[in-house]
Amino acid sequence: PVGWKITLDRLREFRLQNPAPVDTMGCERLAETGDEIPPEVKRFQTLMSLVLSSQTKDTVTSVAVRRLQKELKGGLTIQGVLDVSAEELNNIIAAVGFHNKKTTYMKQVAEICKTKYSGDIPDTAEELIALPGVGPKMAYLTLQCAWNKNLGIGVDTHVHRISNRLGWVNTEKDGPEATREALQSWLPKEHWREINHILVGYGQVLCLPRGPLCGACPVQERCPSAMVTKQRKKMLAIIKSEMEEPFGEV
């Protein structure tokens, strides 16, 4: 798309100056840190955070992950998930969306990782996507955050919505996977990792699903959707003005 680099630079600068929930509560930041935490445990926690994040706000996901880290015997590890009862696990994550299904997914993923991957998680997109409850977005974000492998763009609802609003892609009706493929067809690979973080935060604080704050947007003059919104508001104002005008004398 013409001028995409300028738009991306402006959005990056905006994000540096405007914090969003994803900056502190995003899935890539929820794994425990420290030399005492084994790398495979950090990777598993990142994967579990992403599984829990589906259809759930970052603020809710982060609380659930912290509870798992504190309340599971031995912490949020493969063995910890296997040892806890399904009922207790479900109670701990009850605030996240579709928690009943996610309880089952977590149990299944833990068992697969223990038996098939020697207590670690897969390191390919194909194997990650094959895990219960793991989609392409989760797989590519897991590869980036847990394995430091930049093999694809993680496209969630924010990235899907904003990429279409900006006119970077034309995949609104085709879904996030179509958006990922379209973005990857032209966006240089060095931006694949940052694009999710930039657009998710931007979508959380400004380019909202409903009622986007176009007036405060740093790229409003470059956004086709903002232009349409302005034209629509102008037309509505004209119509309202005409309706409020008093009728002339007959």
Euclidean distance between CA atoms 232 and 229, whole angstroms: 5
The tokens describing 201, both together, are 């935060």
Length of the chain: 250
* Nearest CA among 214, 184, 185 for reference residue 196: 184
Which of 123, 143, 137, 221 lies closest to 179 in space, CA to CA?
137
Is 137 a residue of the active site? yes
Retrieve residue 119's tokens.
Answer: 């207590």
- Identified catalytic residue from 42, 73, 137, 173: 137
Distance CA 155, CA 197 (A): 10
Catalytic residue numbers read 137
